[in-house]
Amino acid sequence: MAKALNSALMNEMELDPDVVVLGEDVGINGGVFRITEGLHERFGDERVMDTPLAESGIVGFSIGMALAGMKPVAEMQFMGFMWPALDQLSSHASRLRNRTQGRFSVPLVVRSPYGGGVRALEHHAESFESILAHIPGLKTVIPSDAYDAKGLLISSIRDPDPVVFLEPKRLYRLGKMEVPDEAYTVDIGKAKLLREGTDLTLVGWGSMMPKLVKAAELVSSKGIDAEVIDVRSISPYDERTVNSSVEKTGRLVVVQEAPRTLGFASEIITRAQEDIIDSFKAPAVRVTGFDVPFPFYKMEGWAMPDLDRIVKGMREVLTW
């Protein structure tokens, strides 16, 4: 996925001179996860800007660049350090179009690695995507494989509105997948069916998706046929795809790495209940992180939903 993201940035910077990458260590160093590797060499200081170490400043400065007609792609080095930028995102990026009735707009992408599972230091493994989805006017996109990562990032850069693009860092270098060299897009706001099934619907995003697919394969040996959906963006959220799947299967399990309370899993379940409560054969189940700060890494295995908890969640909706 890391290479696909790099390829997306390469493509878009070549195609559009207004695309500019900025952030901490994105220049000569190529980013701490090497997502911007080679960009500085290719496009120079003007378009690949190492900035002072200041998240609100980076996003605020990027908003100004976007207002002036550029297409900044700002990097937040880790999601845990993104909090200071939330003021700029929610007070300005997300609402300048709205509060000027369309006179101004902010075509901005804020990329950030998120999530745990890589034995990172504290403050380096947060997942607060539901907080972003709660901000009207922002889009929150989260890919789970290399192909989508590239296509969704390109779509995000071309989007006329601000997009927060969250990269599951556990998947940066997990597995291999062929991705086209040329630019292509994947629509924002469309969920993807990863596996068809009839017995239950298993929904997630980002870092959880490989586990969901594996869980579905495991239970298939017991004759259980699970449908697996990657929502790919939580704002906008593709309610139609998820709800029609649940209409078919009658059972819903939503998995999220983030803390349990007020996570996006709650929203997915609520939307399904409002829309198709008659289709439910069992109460929906959430498999989530806990309502604790993401722990030091010796305990991260407990904090994150694992295969066991996911399979047991599936068993719960099947045996109710």
Per-residue contact flags (x/-) with other proteins for residues 142 to 161, judged by CB under 8 A? -----------------xxx
Binds other proteins (CB under 8 A): choice among 38, 42, 100, 296: 100
- Indicate whether 105 belongs to the interface with other proteins (CB under 8 A): yes
Q: Which is nearer to other proteins, 86 or 226 (CB)?
A: 86
Q: Give the C-alpha separation, 214 to 309, whole Å.
A: 13
Is 236 a binding residue for other proteins by CB under 8 A? The answer is yes
Q: Which residues are identified as catalytic?
A: 124
- For residue 49, the minimal CB distance to other proteins (Å) is 8
Q: In the complex, what is the shortest distance from the CB of residue 48 to other proteins, in angstroms, rounded to a whole number?
A: 13
Per residue, the 3-state secondary structure of the chain, as one string, reads: CHHHHHHHHHHHHHHCCCEEEEECCCCCCCCCCCCCCCHHHHHCCCCEEECCCCHHHHHHHHHHHHHCCCEEEEECCCHHHCHHHHHHHHHHHCCHHHHCCCCCCCCCEEEEEECCCCCCCCCCCCCCHHHHHCCCCCEEECCCCHHHHHHHHHHHHHCCCCEEEEEEHHHCCCCCCCCCCCCCCCCCCCCEEEECCCCEEEEECHHHHHHHHHHHHHHHCCCCCEEEEECCEEECCCHHHHHHHHHHHCCEEEECCCCCCCCHHHHHHHHHHHHHHHHCCCCCEEECCCCCCCCCHHHHHHHCCCHHHHHHHHHHHHHC
Mark 8-47 with x for binding to other proteins (rule: CB under 8 A) and - for no binding.
Answer: --------------------------------------x-
Closest CA to 115 of 106, 107, 103, 123: 123
Nearer residue to other proteins within complex by CB, 58 or 255: 58
Residue number with CB closer to other proteins (165 or 294): 165
Task: Give the one residue of 3, 40, 92, 150 binding other proteins; rule: CB under 8 A.
Answer: 92
Q: Which is nearer to other proteins, 105 or 220 (CB)?
A: 105
Among 1, 21, 63, 203, binds other proteins (CB under 8 A): 63
As measured in angstroms, the least distance from the Cβ of 77 to other proteins is 15
d(CA 216, CA 210): 10
Question: Would you say 91 or 220 has its CB closer to other proteins?
Answer: 91
Provide, rounded to whole angstroms, the least separation between the CB of residue 197 and other proteins.
25
Q: Examine residue 290 and tell whether it contacts other proteins (CB under 8 A).
A: no
Token digits for 218? 């495991």
Binding of residue 277 to other proteins (CB under 8 A): no
Among the listed ranges 28-36, 96-104, 146-154, 221-229, the one in contact with other proteins (CB under 8 A) is: 96-104
Site for other proteins in 239-258 (CB under 8 A): 239-240
* Interface with other proteins (CB under 8 A): 46, 49, 51-52, 54, 56-57, 59-70, 72, 84, 87-88, 91-92, 95-105, 136-137, 159-161, 189, 236-237, 239-240
